[in-house]
Amino acid sequence: MLEQLRPLFPYLKKYRASYLLGTICVFFNNGIWILFPLVIRRAINDLHDAETGGVTAHKLLVYSLLLLAVAGAKGIFQFLTRWIVIGVSREIEFDLRNDLFLHLEGLSYSFYQRTRTGDIMARATNDLNAVRMLLGPAIMYSANTIVFTAGALAFMVSISPRLTLYAFLPLPVVSIVIQYFGRRIHERFERIQAMFSDISARAQENFSGVRVIRAYVQEESEVAGFEKSNREYIARSLQLVRLMGMLWPTLETMLGLAIVLVLWLGGREVLLHRIDVGDFVAFNTYMVQLTWPVIALGWVINIFQRGTASLGRIHQLMQERAEITDESGVATTSSKELTGDIEFRDLNFSYNGVPVLHDINLHIPAGTSLAIVGPTGSGKTTLVNLIPRVYDTAPGAVLIDAKPVRDFALSDLRRNIGFVPQETFLFSETIRENIAFGMQNATDQDVRWAANAANIAADIESFPDQYKTIVGERGITLSGGQKQRTAIARALIRNPRILVLDDALSSVDTQTEDKILNHLRDVMKGRTTIFISHRVSTVRNADRIAVLHRGRIVELGTHEELLALNGYYTDLYNKQLLEEELAEV
């Protein structure tokens, strides 16, 4: 059990003072409640005893006030117990959620390629809530049950050891029942949480891909698939409900049998004058008071098994390690020290064991531009992803300013690179916040400059709310070209030494492309610029053009030099000329 809870030890240690205070309140809460049957015993024996005057108004008032005082004091400490222990569970939930988010933010891109977003969301919400229940109600009710049962047992033994033995005869059976049900609850809840992750992932994919679903008229098919998954989730949940439904009645039956046994045998003891009536009533009051702790025990078992199952799933995420991190001893540098001279030296790269790039030797002097063209799957995106260390290759294969990229702190390296990826992503915030993303001190003037440079300013100013326009999830309210230009503006506002545009103009028409490129020519001065494109019109003015084919550089030179080679680049150029001529007809 301790091994299962080990990931929580740092959090429990942080709030040990609060848990200690909560434990003190638990002792007072249950210690006072244990006095309740003793007051009843004293009252019955005193009121029943003729020698002390029997029943009087004064005695009734005294004992009534005593019972009210006990109940009132118990209520105060019960409130304090819940306030402290449940409050601590919320604090730990807060810390654990922050730590989980921080950890997920630091994981490498490859983790998100193999892990579904819905699964991550399920663990960060549903599983985290189950862990909170483990840290709050489960601890509180377990402590209450242990303390009250121990105290009540001591007083029950003092009243009648024989009756106490009869009362606890079902205990071995209860232990077996708890072990049996606990193991099965844990197994079934793990399967339920896995199914919940599947449902969350399916829903997330449907909401994100709603345009594709509607374009292919797959609404009914997706609804049917979701309903099937949902039915399986409900079926598994009902199996757990049936198991839990059997647990509590079983525990109550065991307790009921013990009460019947005590009433039968204890009644005989009273008739034989071996036990006072007050003692017998107090003993039975303890038995009744133990009803809730026994029932709570079943609930705690359920919470504990759910919590440990969920904790295991969260811990599995926390055990993931970033594949790309700062090398030991790497010092941060000033952005002014990075000029942007890039070199690929004898570069070979494989992804999941599949070779992608072969023998790449390429030098891009600082302040120059390089265009990369090639057929789909030739490794263009992979090559530029190695510059900001989205992926890592052999040490010394990628250098900036004659220094291996691994010798830069990741934060410094990426801060100096403006990267516009192939798949444009915008946050569901305003256009201004998307452009100024990562630049907390960006002024409105900076944002407008970047928008103008990316040729998106006119579009933004035509919107009713202009730069305050909410773009919706993933920028759904913008066209493909508008999203790409917004992403370019986001890269430019960083004033990077290296600018990488990965097919960032694919969604704009040729006229808009010319305008953007004209703006970018001024921006590109003094910066190292790399852009990938399938259009010759985009790359023809680059200082050099590299042609990638099957992971190798097969052609390298200026536009005119490559045309003279009469190779792949020439074929691409001729095809696009023909397409333009046909479009004009």
The CATH number covering residue 357 comes to: 3.40.50.300
Q: What is the pLDDT of residue 331?
A: 61
350 plus 456 within the same structural domain: yes
* Residue 45 in domain: yes
> Do residues 341 and 364 make contact, with C-beta atoms less than 8 angstroms apart?
yes
pLDDT digits (tens, 9 = 90+) for 300-356: 877 787 788 888 888 888 887 877 777 776 665 544 567 888 888 888 888 777 888
The last residue of a domain, from among 318, 350, 385? 318
* Residue 324 in domain: no
Total domains present in the chain? 2
Q: Domain containing 482: what range?
A: 336-584
> Do residues 464 and 383 make contact, with C-beta atoms less than 8 angstroms apart?
no
552 plus 487 within the same structural domain: yes
**Residue 304 burial (10 A CB sphere; 0-12, 13-18, 19+):** buried
The neighbour count for residue 563, using CB atoms within 10 Å, is 16
427 plus 530 within the same structural domain: yes
DSSP string, 299-321: HHHHHHHHHHHHHHHHHHHHT--
Which H or E run includes 403? Answer: strand 403-404
Phi, psi of 23 (to 5 degrees): -65, -40
> Do residues 373 and 535 make contact, with C-beta atoms less than 8 angstroms apart?
no
**What are 546's strand-pairing partners?**
372, 556
Tokens of 135: 């840290």
Which runs of E-coded beta strand occur in 71-222?
Answer: none
288 plus 341 within the same structural domain: no
* Residue 16 in domain: yes
376 plus 485 within the same structural domain: yes
The last residue of a domain, from among 318, 346, 364? 318
The full 3-state SS of 419-434, as one line of letters, equals: EECCCCCCCCCEHHHH
Q: What is the pLDDT of residue 49?
A: 58
| 505 closest CA partner among 424, 445, 571, 407 | 424
Q: What is the pLDDT of residue 322?
A: 76
The CATH number covering residue 286 comes to: 1.20.1560.10
73 plus 166 within the same structural domain: yes
280 plus 340 within the same structural domain: no
Q: What is the pLDDT of residue 161?
A: 84
Residue at 20: amino acid letter: L
262 plus 345 within the same structural domain: no
411 plus 297 within the same structural domain: no
* Residue 408 in domain: yes
Find tokens 């740092």 and name the residue.
10
| 340 closest CA partner among 361, 372, 370 | 370
141 plus 267 within the same structural domain: yes
* Residue 323 in domain: no
Taken as a whole, the chain contains a residue count of 585
* Residue 328 in domain: no
pLDDT under 50: residue ranges of the chain: 50, 334-335, 585
**What are 26's strand-pairing partners?**
none
* Residue 326 in domain: no
* Residue 492 in domain: yes
232 plus 360 within the same structural domain: no
Q: What is the pLDDT of residue 335?
A: 46
Residues 6+ apart with CB under 8 A from 560: none
DSSP string, 347-402: EEEEETTEEEEEEEEEEE-TT-EEEEE--TTSSHHHHHHTTTTSS--STTSEEETT
The last residue of a domain, from among 318, 348, 376? 318
Tokens of 283: 């003993």
353 plus 299 within the same structural domain: no
